[in-house]
Amino acid sequence: MKFFVDTAEIDAIAELNDLGMVDGVTTNPSLILKSGRDILEVTKEICDLVDGPVSAEVVALKAEDMIAEGRKLAAIADNIAVKVPLTWDGLKTCRVLTDEGHMVNVTLCFSANQALLAAKAGATFISPFIGRLDDINLDGMELIADIRTIYDNYGYETQILAASIRTVNHVTESARIGADVITAPPAVIKALASHPLTDKGLDAFMADWAKTGQKIL
């Protein structure tokens, strides 16, 4: 499974990238706002930092304008994945940009039918939002499973990019189901290393080591 980090914060990306934990980055207008940076400037910096796909989202609502914005974003670097919403205009944009050789991430997916349309439009990635479905008492993981089944049934090459990851359990279940990619905030990715029994065992080892009176260095 590939790990994308869902942030526009350079320092957080760099830390995870140095550990080999970053296969790509996803951003959106909310994350750009949080960063306080110019979208073109920070996106270029991220693209220079990581080798994998960097999703940068259009903000227009009509296909003609989305296509123009997508082309401008794609010109930032070769590893840009233009992010478009799963609307009819977004699907039209996806088709055009895909045919031009650009990676496209179709986002805000909440149904298997939407994911099917995105695959047929040539999307590189489909981003189903797990956490937001959970928020309205629907099973986000069930959507990931449905998309996996449908894509496998027909050999679609669109990669399932599990998004709106809120917990480490979302990551585990996405991996079990067979999502190709997860995108998560840095804090969630770091939390994957945590377990109370690891902490308890380490405390016991350190206590016993102190009793030996020894040093390694």
Closest among 32, 119, 45 to 80, alpha carbons compared: 45
How many C-beta atoms surround the C-beta of residue 216 within 10 A? 4
Name the one residue in this structure whose structure tokens are 């999307």.
123
Q: What angle do CA 69, 63, 129 make, to 5 degrees?
A: 85
> Which is the catalytic residue, given 44, 62, 72, 83?
83
Closest among 39, 14, 11 to 27, alpha carbons compared: 39
Look at the chain and count its residues. 217
Angle between the N-to-C axes of helices 88-99 and 63-74, in degrees from 0 to 180, rounded to the nearest 10? 40
Q: Rg of the Cα trace of the chain? A: 20
Q: What is the DSSP string of 42-59?
A: HHHHHHHH-SS-EEEE--
Q: Is 83 a catalytic residue?
A: yes
- The CA distances from residue 199 to 187, 194, 205, 206, 207, in Å, are 18, 8, 10, 11, 12
How many C-beta atoms surround the C-beta of residue 70 within 10 A? 27
CA distance 19 to 5: 13
Q: Which residues are marked as active site?
A: 83
